[in-house]
Amino acid sequence: MLTRKQHQLLLYIDDHLRRTGYSPSFDEMKDALELRSKSGIHRLISALEERGFLRRHHHRARALEVLRLPHMGTEAPIAALASETGFVPAVLSQGETGLDGAFSEASVANDRQTVSIPLYGRIAAGLPIEAMQDDSDRIEVPISLLGTGEHYALTVAGDSMIEAGILDGDIAIIRRRETAENGQIIVALIDGQEVTLKKLRRRGSMIALEAANRDYETRIFPAERVNIQGRLIALFRQY
């Protein structure tokens, strides 16, 4: 797994090497990533070394060697875990070593680094819409994101979750389950036909579906009108 800053630094170093033939200085890297101190660059480089993306030649000045780059297809996965404190995206490189396990819904790719899960239709992150249940579309997901259990993906529509880092067009990776904790981001089925992606809050016998955009109101329903269809565990984003 690469964080956003690790990913940005690796691409910056690679680009600088290609353009100039030598690695950038720590000051240049600090400025490029808009960090306050060079100590942050040292930590990022050490992390990239440990993950096998960079090699540092300690006896030469400005001597960094890029060993490999993350998969750079049209789909750049943005992974994140939903928790009580919110949703904090982190960039994940494609093809990282993951967990082996049994996935009832997944056909495992040849290298066993990814699995194929159903990609359903668009889920409203603004107003609820009907979910499309078509298994013909599928998406490859790194095994390390999933763990055990059943999973599926939905394309996000709308902007009501932008303050949680969830944007229109993102692909939401969902772990199928019927329960969730307060504060977790869930797929909620309302009245058996409308589906939305919102933060869960229980208020006695009522369920509040909270947006992460101050322009949207919280929607409150009797608990019997809302069924939890899964919990958000990750995002994929196209650039």
C-beta of residue 177 within 8 angstroms of C-beta of residue 231: yes
Instruction: Tell me the C-alpha distance between 208 and 220, whole Å.
Output: 4
- Indicate which residue of 23, 30, 93, 198 is catalytic: 198
Phi/psi for 10 (5° steps) reads -60, -45
Residue type, 153: A
Nearby residues of 168 by Cβ (< 8 Å), 6 or more positions away: 125, 156, 157, 158, 159
Structure-token pair, residue 210: 């909270």
- Indicate which residue of 83, 160, 199, 205 is catalytic: 160
Where b means 16+ CB within 10 Å and e means fewer, 188-197 reads bbbeeebbbb
Any idea what the Cα angle at residue 106 is, between residues 84 and 128, rounded to 5°? 50
Asked about 25 being catalytic, the answer comes back as no
Asked about 198 being catalytic, the answer comes back as yes
Residue type, 157: A
Residue for token digits 């200085």? 25
How many C-beta atoms lie closer than 10 Å to residue 34's C-beta? Answer: 8
Q: Catalytic amino acids?
A: 160, 198
